[in-house]
Amino acid sequence: MATVTVLMSTYNGEKYLEEQIDSIVKQEGVNVKILVRDDGSTDGTQKMLDQFQEKGILHWYTGHNLRSAKSFLDLVSCAPMSDYYAFCDQDDVWNSDKLYRAISKLECLKDDSKPRLYCSNYQLVDAKLENLPDNGHISTVTFNAALVSSCCTGCTVVFDRKLLEILKIGSPKVVVMHDDWVHKVCLAVGGTVIYDDYKSLKYRQHGANVDGGVHNVRSKFQNIFNRIRSKDRVRSRQIGEILRIYRSVMPHNYVILADKIATYADKNIFCRIQLAYDHEIRTPYKRLNKGYRAAIILRYY
């Protein structure tokens, strides 16, 4: 029976934490270990974690408030030996077969010498676990497409020990989100990503989510405006971090493509338009391609 270490970051999550932990404990067909990093909670979360630890359900530690992405990457750096690893939010509810199904899919891959990552669909629910309308979830499973958008939801992610070892090689100075980073790194070094359309968990939306699954038109345009105004270009800078850490183990054609993205902001408008419509950097989804092209041309990618 495979061992899975569940990596959970908490922050003021006392309201839904017990329900999430309970769904992890009830996972079927796997041995589960839970490692929690608390990101400086000020409510009753740490007291709850102490109680769970006393019962032998999990181990936890805390530190300065790093925010979600870096808190999860700190968990990766501290993760113990295990067959597989899974990211976990503090407020969802997992199906009992979530981990077993993911591992079964990963173990069907013939080449286990390369890192492997699984991600899935999910059921959006409200605070009371009532179903919300389907979000039409999609994913990308090639490096070329991931340069446009990773579309990999962290709470669905399960990955193998090989990928963990690769992730521990270096720590990014700039990161969009932990799931975006892990997904891109896996593909950048020649690994395999599996997307499963099965809804493996109830993804709770309650207004306090760090990055929930529901985004209305107004919030999307506000996000674009903020990116243009801030000029932080965090997505291209993250690609630069992948090159800094993993260039020597990336396929040569991936390095060429990643270099184009990492240095695009220094190019003139004509070069940016050419890059935006580069036939090698695209996904099967028109909506994602349009967003990427606008971000490159207007220099907010």
pLDDT of 277 above 90? yes
Q: How many domains does the chain have?
A: 2
Same domain, 118 and 196: yes
Q: Which of 179, 204, 229 is the last residue of a domain?
A: 204
Residue 229, burial from CB neighbour count under 10 angstroms (0-12, 13-18, 19+) = exposed
Report the candidate in 236, 269, 253, 267 with the shortest Cα–Cα distance to residue 147: 236
207 to each of 203, 204, 210, 217, how far by Cα in Å?
12, 9, 9, 16
Same domain, 97 and 148: yes
Same domain, 35 and 164: yes
Same domain, 160 and 51: yes
* CA 75-102-235 angle, 5° bins: 50
In single-letter form, the type of residue at position 182 comes to V
Q: Tell me what pLDDT residue 113 has.
A: 86
Enclosing domain of residue 285: 217-297
| pTM as predicted | 0.93
pLDDT of 213 above 90? no
Residue 160 lies in a domain: yes
Q: How confident is the model at residue 223 (pLDDT cuts 50, 70, 90)?
A: low
What one-character DSSP code corresponds to residue 67? -
